[in-house]
């Protein structure tokens, strides 16, 4: 009966129809200008929890925009909406003046690339992981790897681009996995690149290398970054501070930091105090080791 029950559930799953419309036909060239107009949203699994509240935000083509704010404020949900994993309950999102639902579904997702905090690598070669789902030439793979600061370490592996990444990328370090994931995103030459906490789990050295790659790949495309680390945030052209499902501040790092009454100022200085305490604790541990 267990097997029969699972089979029924599987058949029911196959019969499900997506709620997202996929019949759009627009395939015009994408510049990367987003306009989020008065968008409200609740996840279907949590219908009483309003995640986005009449949120409006204009993202300029070619700029690097950082999304910051307290956990649970709606940053990752904004990314999910821009990727069109969900449609808004109210309001509309346009890309280059065209509603997202009007774009050809596959074309749209080729033009927008996402690099998550925990990249998914497969048990195949570095080459196959970079080109996964895309018919890339050798030149395109290497060019993407160089832009992602991955080519040098890949060439240092025993089998170069033919080296296996292992199941879930177990043969690679965190920084190496992240650079391969960025190369996979770049090989498609997307108009929009979204980086969701791409450096938060890395050590300082790996973070610096990945940040260099992020800055290099920002040329001639729109980049949207979710980050908590100040070293990533302050390099953005503009910063949108998200809290309780709304944009509460918008501007450059210096302008927002100057506003002492704003949430951004509070977040930055609380983070600096936290880092200072961590350094003091580390110094105390070192002193204890020397004394002992």
Indicate the pTM of the whole model: 0.84
**How far apart, in whole angstroms, are the C-alpha atoms of residue 182 and residue 218?**
12
Residue with tokens 């019969």: 15
pLDDT in tens, the chain (292 residues): 466 666 777 676 666 766 676 778 889 999 999 999 999 999 999 999 999 999 999 999 999 999 999 989 999 999 999 999 999 999 999 999 999 999 999 999 999 999 988 888 999 999 999 999 888 999 999 999 999 889 999 999 999 999 999 988 888 988 899 899 999 999 999 999 999 887 776 777 777 887 888 888 888 899 999 987 787 888 899 999 999 999 999 999 999 999 989 999 999 887 666 656 555 665 665 455 444 4
Do 168 and 140 form a contact (C-beta atoms < 8 A)? no
Neighbours of 209 (CB within 10 A): 20
Residue with tokens 């970079």: 130
Instruction: Return the structure tokens found at 47.
Output: 């219908």
Residue with tokens 């097997």: 3
Query: Regarding the domain with residue range 31-258, which homologous superfamily does it belong to in the CATH classification?
Result: P-loop containing nucleotide triphosphate hydrolases (3.40.50.300)
Q: Where are the domains of the chain?
A: 31-258
Neighbours of 80 (CB within 10 A): 18
Do 214 and 223 form a contact (C-beta atoms < 8 A)? yes
């Amino acid at each position: 009966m267990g097997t029969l029950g699972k089979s029924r559930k599987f058949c029911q799953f196959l019969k499900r129809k997506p709620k997202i419309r996929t019949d759009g036909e627009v395939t015009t060239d994408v510049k990367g200008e987003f306009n989020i107009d008065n968008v409200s949203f609740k996840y279907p699994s949590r219908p009483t929890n309003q995640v986005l509240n009449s949120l409006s935000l204009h993202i300029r083509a070619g700029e690097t925009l950082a999304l910051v704010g307290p956990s649970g404020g709606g940053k990752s949900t904004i990314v999910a909406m821009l990727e069109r994993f969900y449609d808004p309950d109210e309001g509309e999102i346009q890309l280059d003046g065209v509603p997202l639902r009007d774009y050809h579904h596959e074309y749209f997702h080729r033009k927008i690339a996402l690099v998550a905090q925990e990249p998914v690598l497969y048990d195949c070669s570095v080459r196959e992981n970079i080109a996964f789902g895309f018919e890339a030439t050798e030149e395109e793979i290497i060019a993407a790897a160089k832009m992602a600061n991955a080519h040098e370490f890949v060439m240092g592996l025993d089998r170069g681009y033919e080296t296996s990444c292992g199941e879930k990328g177990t043969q690679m370090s965190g920084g190496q996995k992240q650079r391969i994931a960025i190369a996979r995103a770049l090989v498609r030459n997307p108009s929009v690149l979204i980086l969701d906490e791409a450096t938060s789990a890395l050590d300082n050295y790996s973070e610096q290398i990945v940040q260099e790659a992020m800055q290099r790949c920002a040329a001639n495309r729109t980049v949207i970054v979710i980050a908590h680390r100040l070293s990533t945030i302050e390099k953005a052209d503009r910063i949108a501070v998200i809290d309780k499902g709304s944009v509460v501040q918008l501007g450059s790092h210096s302008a927002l930091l100057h506003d002492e009454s704003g949430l951004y100022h509070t977040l930055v200085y609380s983070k600096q105090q936290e880092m200072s305490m961590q350094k003091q604790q580390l110094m105390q541990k070192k002193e204890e080791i020397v004394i002992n």
